[in-house]
Structure formats: C-alpha cells, structure tokens
Amino acid sequence: MKVKVFDEECERDLENSINNFLHNDIDVIDIKYQVAIAINGEEQIYCFTAMIIYH
C-alpha cells in the first residue's frame, strides 16, 4: 500500500494533478480531500489537498 499527497492553491490545479496521477495503472483504495483557509492581513489563503491511498 502507498500514498500520494497533492497540495495546490486552487481546485482546478488539484483536479488536474489528481487526474494526471490517475492515468497510471494503480488500484485506488481511498481518496481523502481537505481545504484549509488562512487569513494574512486582508488576504485569504486557500490550500486544497488530497491524499490518494493506492496499491
């Protein structure tokens, strides 16, 4: 069993990264998804992450 972690600043980039990885010949067991938001002064910072557990 292995894991692959993705971390992107926008949802579209995360989708593209995951879709590119899924083109490999792997057996996906589970996908965990999380969004974190931080505030730095007036700016909101988003972090979109996913972890794929696979064989």
CATH number at residue 26: 3.30.1660
pLDDT score of 18: 97
pLDDT score of 7: 96
Residue 11's nearest CA partner among 41, 34, 44, 40 is 34
For 50, the domain range is: 2-54
Residue 47 to residue 55: CA distance in whole angstroms: 26
The tally of domains found in the chain comes to 1
Give the number of other CB atoms < 10 A from CB of residue 21.
15
3-state secondary structure at position 32: strand
**Span 3-54, pLDDT tens digits:** 999 999 999 999 999 999 999 989 999 999 999 999 999 999 999 999 999 9
pLDDT score of 5: 98
pLDDT score of 43: 93
pLDDT score of 41: 92
